[in-house]
Chain A
Amino acid sequence: MNHAGELISAYLDGELARSEVEGLFGHVGSCGKCSAELEALQSVRSAVRSLPQLELPPGLIPEADAEVIPLRRNRGFLVGAAAAVVAVVIAVAAIFTPSAATISVEELNSRYGARASLDPAFGPAKVVVPYVVDLPE
């Protein structure tokens, strides 16, 4: 393993798998440069974390709220899971939500009634009872 600066940063961010951590420490144990870098970065991080946390005034860095910092580990899994959830929601909605093109019995009755009015038996023998439903005003 050459210089492991990136892996050291990832380790300190808690983003390495167990096997990667073991590999890193195997290297750091035999590499003085990496060992020194790890120690230095740990000291800096400890110092930074010991500083008091201050609330930023609202709007000072507007873009900060919208920034998304991707996780290195499990990012693919999370994206896939989100896509699957969206697909399932769309499928369920499409199947169980009545289509905008559904046709009501009233629409059929109007056509049948119009044609039946030309029928020889039109009259009292073919009365269609008005549907008492909510009609468009």
Chain B
Amino acid sequence: MALVAVLVMVPSTTALGADLDELLDESRDASYTAEQVISCSTPEGVRDAVVELTQSGGELHVVAPVDPDVEIASGYGGWSLVREGSVVSSTNVQGTDEEPKPRYTIDDGAETEYLGRPATSYRMIGEGVVRAELVVDAEIGALLKVVTFVENGDLYCERRFIAFDPEPPTFSQASTGSDVEFSVSVVDSDLPGSLAGFERLDVYKDDEGFVFAYYSDGFFSFAVFETPAVVVLGEGSVATFAGGPYARSFSPGQVTFAWETLEGGMALVGDLPPDMHQEVLDGLPPPQDPGLFRRLWRNLFG
């Protein structure tokens, strides 16, 4: 009887066979306000940012202090860009119940302290390689710090809270934009069902001709786009892999690739560490120069 009482008192976030999904589920259900620093070491240099996060009931609002009038609100398949209280663009997806096979495990965790609060630090391991360190608040399960690594152990991105208030926030209601919202539907696709350890969970197509598939390995994720036109990256560099040259751009915590094909454009957006890029891109249609006349025709007639 005494043993049962002890087990009941153990916080759910400590290591008693807890798996990664449980840990992540608990984090997404947590409610809090926080300030987060994101700093990533990329092949193009350091990309960093400070953002203010407000999360409640699976909904997350993000504001960058450098432009406090712009906010991103997301959750439950919805994403909205809000400016000065008004939605200027939004997207909704239906999603599926597909879940990737577990690729990562977490260790038993170690008790620690973060921002003066009791916490547990876990290592996330896949194929014998530590891919992330997760520091979880012992009281409400929020992810206070997430550090991701490349295969050789070098740091890729560090996301850590520098201020944290576990009180449930209240969201201000944004006024809805006029006709900017649209939904997308699930369709079949020629895009690969699995790709370098990632599983294609669902595919969407919308009225504008976008086809995109969402891939996840249970932690990292990316979307692959097939578009009728070429994707224009405002900045970045050219990365050459086996398939050819790709336009590449890093932002804090995110990478974007774009390339041209005979039919139009392709792009990849995700949070993959750099050592995963080549294998993923090699599994997709490679860059192809459509030639002068095909490009001319496409530019003139779409």
Contact = CB atoms under 8 A, between A and B. Distances in A.
Interface of A: 91, 94-95, 97-133, 135-137
22 contacts: A94-B300, A95-B295, A103-B210, A103-B267, A104-B232, A108-B225, A108-B256, A110-B89, A111-B210, A112-B212, A117-B74, A118-B77, A122-B60, A123-B142, A124-B34, A124-B53, A125-B27, A127-B62, A129-B38, A129-B64, A130-B70, A135-B89
Contacts of A91: 296
A125 B143 contact: yes
Interface stretch (B5-13, B91-99, B111-119, B167-175): B91-99
B79 A127 contact: no
B78 interface: yes
B55 A123 contact: yes
A124 B256 contact: no
B3 interface: no
Contacts of A126: 221, 253, 271
Contacts of B143: 123-125
Given A115-B95, A130-B71, A98 B232 contact: yes
A111 B221 CA distance: 13
B167 to A, nearest CB: 17
B270 interface: yes
A135 B96 CA distance: 31
A103 B265 CA distance: 9
Contact of B78 (A95, A109, A117, A136): A117
Nearest to B295: A95
Nearest to B29: A123
Chain B interface size, as a band, is 35 or more
Given A114-B93, A130-B71, A123 B253 contact: no
A91 B297 CA distance: 10
Nearest to A104: B232
Given A104-B234, A114-B79, A115-B77, 11 more contacts: A95-B299, A108-B269, A110-B79, A111-B184, A114-B93, A123-B27, A123-B55, A124-B27, A126-B253, A129-B253, A132-B67
Contacts of A111: 79, 91, 93, 184, 204, 210, 212, 223, 225
B299 A97 contact: yes
A120 B77 contact: no
Contacts of B25: 120
Nearest to B86: A137
Contacts of B204: 111, 115
B269 A121 contact: no
Interface in B230-262: 230-234, 249, 251-254, 256
A125 B299 contact: no
Given A111-B223, A123-B55, A128 B159 contact: no
B150 interface: no
Contacts of A124: 27, 34, 36, 53, 55, 142-144, 146, 159, 161
Contact of A113 (B79, B144, B161): B79
Contact of A129 (B62, B161, B202): B62
Contacts of A115: 77, 93, 95, 202, 204, 212, 214, 223
